[in-house]
Amino acid sequence: MEITSPSFKKNVHKALRDEQLQQAMRHVRSNFIQKRAAAADALPEFEALRDNARDIKNHVLENLDLYLERFESKVTENGGHVHWAATASDARGMVLDICRRVNAKSVTKGKSMISEEMELNGFLEKYGITPVETDLGEYIIQLRGEHPSHIIAPSVHVTMNQVRDDFRKAHTHLPKDRPMDEPESLLKEARAILRQKFMEADVGITGANFLIAETGTSIIVTNEGNGDLTQSLPRVHIVLASLEKVVPTLEDMSQIMRVLARSATGQEMSVYTTLSTGPRRASDPDGPDEYHVILLDNGRSNMLGTEFQDMLRCIRCGACLNHCPVYHAIGGHAYGWVYPGPMGSVLSPALAGIEKTANLPNASTFCGRCEEVCPMRIPLPKMLRHWREKEFEKHLTPPAQRRNLKLWAWFAKRPGLYRTGSRVAMRMLSLMGGSKKRLRKLPFAGAWTEDRDLPAPEGGSFVSQWNAGRRT
């Protein structure tokens, strides 16, 4: 997808004025947060499990090459195929090759953020293959020609009325007067339409929540069951997975599972956790004849050994989005690339380049709520700050901002001059009395007073008054 992060401020301006979006975002603010808190509170071992989950992934990242090799050999042993894709475009090509070889016309898809990174849908369409998103949220946004605005709730920005209108437009063969005023009837309609697609599909593509090195197994976690119909009905199952999804054993996966659903939706366990190993066995009555895993790097291996390595622990639960005040205010699309919210603001610069995504790590208040809820204890604010450091080092910080900062730091390092300078500045500010008209000309203060007053200083500095003997 075209990256619009450089025009983040413009995106924000639009998002804040989008009534439908603002209405939809209200549901995020209340729902997810309460449910996660209740689920975490109900499990006394939750915090210890978070530590354990973090340690498991840290161990994996230090030995990622070995675990991936083991995973590959196990997949092969079970009759499956592993493909290594250095870039998104390599991965797209691999999917296309498989589809062409089996003469695929229609492809069903379970939810996969990597497929967004690969821009797979548009690519397959170009080659005459019809991709059908089967997760309800993904289906809705596919009809709308949009991208997910949330990593686990892709259509969270869409209201029910919008879904109804989209379905009316798309499902023209259905009676015009059918009841469509409840989410239930809309879901039923989608179920019926997609049922047909599941049966017709030649290839099913899913993502992976985990890969297990011990057994060569890929795992998907869903609530709808769409991923299972996607992977068990067509002749070919393709798994799209990024490198860091691998864990050593079934036991390790079980540990991380306990924090995944609780952090994501507040469920103890999602409805369907599906472990797939190789293609169908000779005696199996169902399941795919072919099983392919495409391992996508796309910049991730370059994060290893850097200050951004911890980000590769991410299990895509979405808790950091759900708890982010910035995400709540603007929704996911304003971020301008595949991954929104705090995890996206760390990951997107690594995958798409800081030059284009510099706004993202800066657009955070550092409130720290993301880190507080991250099941994998990823220090998100710290890594956002690391991106700001990279940006500063590379002189990507806007020049005016850099000048102001440098000027301020120059004073801050010289206490004597700082005292004099700030006395003059404060006296001026005091005289202006918080007047919006006059303050607008000052750097910073102008932006501040757009939407709020600037409280006037009381007068005099504390340090000088204290040292002059004043005590109250």
* Contact positions with other proteins (CB under 8 A) in 331-360: none
Question: Binding pattern to other proteins, positions 147-186, x when CB under 8 A?
Answer: ------xxxx-xxx--x-------------------xx-x
295 strand-pairing partners: 84, 241
Of the candidate spans 93-101, 113-121, 313-321, 343-351, the one that interacts with other proteins by CB under 8 A turns out to be: 93-101
Cα 152 to Cα 136: distance, rounded to the nearest angstrom:
11
> Which of 3, 119, 146, 434 touches other proteins by CB under 8 A?
434
DSSP assignments along 276-342, one per residue: E-SS--TT-SSS-SEEEEEEE-TTSGGGTTSTTGGGGG-----HHHHT-HHHHHH-SGGG-SSS-HH
- Please, which of residues 201-230 interact with other proteins by CB under 8 A? 213-217, 223-226, 228-229
Say how many C-beta atoms besides its own lie within 10 A of residue 106's C-beta. 18
Cα 82 to Cα 89: distance, rounded to the nearest angstrom:
17
Please report how close the Cβ of residue 125 comes to other proteins at its closest, in angstroms: 20
Of the candidate spans 112-120, 172-180, 344-352, 453-461, the one that interacts with other proteins by CB under 8 A turns out to be: 453-461
Please report how close the Cβ of residue 458 comes to other proteins at its closest, in angstroms: 6
Please report how close the Cβ of residue 105 comes to other proteins at its closest, in angstroms: 19
Residue with smaller CB distance to other proteins, 2 or 393:
393
- Please, which of residues 51-70 interact with other proteins by CB under 8 A? 52, 56, 59, 61-70
- Please, which of residues 290-329 interact with other proteins by CB under 8 A? 295, 297, 301-302, 304-306, 309, 325-326, 328-329
> Which of 38, 187, 428, 431 touches other proteins by CB under 8 A?
187
In this structure, is the dihedral angle defined by the CA atoms of residues 272, 274, 279 and 283, taken in order, positive or negative? negative
- Please, which of residues 403-422 interact with other proteins by CB under 8 A? 405-406, 408-409, 411-413, 415, 418-419, 422
Calculate ∠ Cα 10-384-299, nearest 5°. 90
> Which of 171, 235, 280, 356 touches other proteins by CB under 8 A?
280
Q: In angstroms, what CA-CA distances link 248 with 203, 243, 251?
A: 28, 13, 8
Say how many C-beta atoms besides its own lie within 10 A of residue 43's C-beta. 14
